């Protein structure tokens, strides 16, 4: 089954404790991205990757890191989480060609709470 998986689905942590949210897709998509969803703000892009070893900042990259060492994986790293990073996080992937990305397919979401 074609899908995007994220782990963990739920995470409660404390300020400053490094964490990683994994994301994997089995559709051989070039493009992958991370979003956060907050009430009243919709979905905002954190980082994206057009292909292996290529990553770029989205609209809200501060406090986050990513890497793309393999095509299928795109982990999101919070080196020192803070309470304002409490949010619902989505990973997505899509087919990309000629510099255009098409519809994105989303993982199930990771609800992160930082106390």
Partner 1 sequence: AQKVTQAQTEISVVEKEDVTLDCVYETRDTTYYLFWYKQPPSGELVFLIRRNSFDEQNEISGRYSWNFQKSTSSFNFTITASQVVDSAVYFCALVNTDKLIFGTGTRLQVFP
Residue ranges binding partner 1 (CB under 8 A): 31, 33, 35, 40-45, 48, 50, 56, 58, 88, 90, 92, 96, 99-106, 108-109
Nearer to partner 1, 17 or 49 (CB): 49
DSSP letter for 35, please: E
Query: Taking a C-beta distance cutoff of 8 angstroms, is the pair 107, 54 a contact?
Result: no
DSSP 73-111: B--EEESS--GGG-EEEEEEEE-EETTEE---EE---EE
Least distance in Å: CB of 73 to partner 1? Answer: 19
Least distance in Å: CB of 35 to partner 1? Answer: 8
Nearer to partner 1, 40 or 69 (CB): 40
Which residues lie closer than 8 Å to 86 by C-beta, 6 or more apart?
Answer: 112, 113, 114
Nearer to partner 1, 35 or 75 (CB): 35
Nearer to partner 1, 9 or 17 (CB): 9
Which residues lie closer than 8 Å to 108 by C-beta, 6 or more apart?
Answer: 5, 6, 9
């Amino acid at each position: 089954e074609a899908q995007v998986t994220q782990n963990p689905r739920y995470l409660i942590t404390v300020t400053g404790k490094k964490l990683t949210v994994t994301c994997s897709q089995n559709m051989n998509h070039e493009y992958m991205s991370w979003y956060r969803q907050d009430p009243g703000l919709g979905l905002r892009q954190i980082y994206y990757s057009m292909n292996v070893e290529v990553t770029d900042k989205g609209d809200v990259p501060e406090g986050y890191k990513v890497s793309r060492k393999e095509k299928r994986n795109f982990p999101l790293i919070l080196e020192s989480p803070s309470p304002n990073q409490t949010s619902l996080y989505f990973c997505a992937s899509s087919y990309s060609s000629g510099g255009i990305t098409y519809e994105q397919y989303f993982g199930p979401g990771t609800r992160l709470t930082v106390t």
